[in-house]
Structure 1
Amino acid sequence: MLFNELYLQWLDLYKQKVKSKTYDNTVSAFELHILPVFGSLEIEEITSLYVLEAMQELSHKSIYLTNRLLQQMIRIYNFGKVLGYIQHNPATGVSDFLPNVRHINHPHLPFSQFQSFVKYLDTTKESTAKDALFMIIYTSLRLQEVIKAEWSEIDFKNKRWTIPAHRMKTGVEHTIPITKPMRLILRKLQKKKAEQLCFFQSK
């Protein structure tokens, strides 16, 4: 069996487990970086050394991408083992010989300065961006989850904001109560525009 054949079988199962965007990104990455190297090879002919050399070459472009694709290769070979196509997983253990992924700590506002920041924000000129930022503070939602809010998600009567699963990073529908400060912002925005999106106009 060729690696490409095993990959396509695994892909059918993978597609059922992940979001469409994740699936598309994986397919694109494999078609660009993995299949040209491994696709035409028999799965039993691929050795750990061959995988290591290919991954080391790819790591010069992106160690993060390399590790992500290596993990997928491990899963593909484990899939093949379960189906009885192969007894050994040549991708296992390869990560021990690759450079470590550098974890970057993104800057954040120290808690001790948070209150001062909110006071400062309150004194700034009124704007939709300011309203969106306050909504992030009130809800602890991610930026994209706030700025892509639609009026159809807002239930003023029951004081609920229901964010559909496809807009949540977790893939699970999320409902949060609309507090008084949130309600004031939303009502203000509602008077300004009749757009589908609450915060920024659709293009």
Structure 2
Amino acid sequence: MRVLGVDPGLTRCGVGVVEGVAGRPLTMLGVGVVRTPADAELGLRLVAVEQGIEQWLDEYEPEYVAVERVFSQHNVRTVMGTAQASAVAMLCAARRGIPVALHTPSEVKAAVTGSGRADKAQVGAMVTRLLRLAAPPKPADAADALALAICHIWRAPAQNRLQQAAARTAPARTAAQNRLQRAAAAHASHPAPKGRTA
């Protein structure tokens, strides 16, 4: 499995490609950052992010794209830029028919370090160890992108099993719902006789 991880951001959008399967050693194929100038117009910055991600998709041809799920309770302005960059990454993948997976920061941290509350240094150290790198990728956005890709490779088999189980039970669930609807319709069209009054 080859996964492009995207740590979305307008100023620095981390990107990293990891290949492998769960339970086996993983290989980093590439890591970097798509940068845009903070003083540029928003539309131009989003175009720059799109062009950067398109180049990574062209070069590495990933089977999946893993993007950090955006949420925050604090700085709305920062979250808006991150969400816009995230949408660009999803659009680029969807246009090529590449499946996109969203992972929360705590899911990624837990998958890579064992703790959903790990800090950036711990994530960088574990990414370095898991991918057998000489040094942690810089900046942290790049390491986070690799962590996203690793998280998806490790979580995908379990997610696939859940989706397959849901697909197998869907026909039975639909049939049961149809029987209930028919029974309700039959009951509505044939109301019970009213009791006699004295």
- Fold match (TM-score > 0.5): no
> TM-score scaled by structure 1?
0.26
> TM-score scaled by structure 2?
0.26
Higher strand share: 2
Higher helix share: 1
**Bigger relative contact order (CA 8 A; separation at least 6):** 2
